[in-house]
Structure 1
């Protein structure tokens, strides 16, 4: 189950046992946004329309309440693999058609959103084990490779190959050391 894996990353980074998951949920409001995202994403994948219609109002209210309390907006239509870790809450947006791999780590102020016109319009596709620093923006129909690190306040509008470290506005690759060492592994 993706949610348990997500919450397990919080306990690991805080040096806690997996039995501390209830404490983590209470102590770290960013977990609320992840829980509500997983709930909403599971609803849209239910095949029976009547069940989706019954569950969606509860999800909608919980999502809006969570957005107000945490300032984190994650579209239920985004596809995010297990291991989502949000270190700090606040001003985070993950758009509706974003595709994100395993062990995605982000800080406050991050946007993963759509941009472009016509055939160039789209959302980012992000690989596994990617770290995104505070305030970074990843926008448009681009591919971010596996094991990448994106520095604080970087604006990424072009794709990055595997193991890239990118910083600046616009983002430029400064090394090929990737996210190793700044990334929480399984």
Structure 2
């Protein structure tokens, strides 16, 4: 059993407005994986957590596309107050993205499709499709190849 499987079970109950079970699953994920993965977040089909999702923090309103790999110790969250006049505005992650260990993606931003976010990068601005970003604050350093796949089979 891994965190994404538990998330999907909890999300199923959450969508059907079945009480208590989603909260129990979220808390179980926290206990087992030391991660906060709320069942209200949207994680696309085929997306996975690397290394069992250790230390992952997702905002309840975050949206993650399909076929993504989310590394350990990442944070995807809202920029409350200081960076946005609206609360709970969260990142939207495109399809087929690779988010490396320790990355922080904060605020009302969009990460395009087929992007790679480097380890410990702090992303505070939109990232166009097919980009490779690294650094604090994150900056574009390259483009992903045309055949880039975040999940290799």
With the shorter chain as reference, the TM-score category is 0.7 to 0.9
Q: How does 1:60-79 map to 2 (within 5 A)?
A: 60-79=23-42
Normalising by structure 1, what TM-score?
0.73
After TM superposition, where is structure 1 displaced by more than 4 Å over at least 4 residues in a row?
A: 178-182
Summarize the Cα distance change of 1:57–1:129 in structure 2 as closer, same or farther, 3 Å threshold: same
Normalising by structure 2, what TM-score?
0.87
Structure 2 unpaired stretches of 5+: none
Q: How does 1:1-186 map to 2 (within 5 A)?
A: 25=1, 31=2, 33-46=3-16, 52=18, 56-88=19-51, 89-115=53-79, 116-119=83-86, 122-177=89-144, 183-185=150-152
How far does residue 65 in structure 1 lie from its aligned partner after superposition?
A: 2.4
What secondary structure does 2:86 align onto? helix
Structure with the largest fraction of helix? 1
- Note the aligned Cα RMSD (angstroms): 2.0
Structure 1 unpaired stretches of 5+: 1-24, 26-30
Distance 1:126 1:175 in 2: 18
Checking the alignment, whether the CA contact within 8 Å between 1:87 and 1:108 is kept in structure 2 is yes
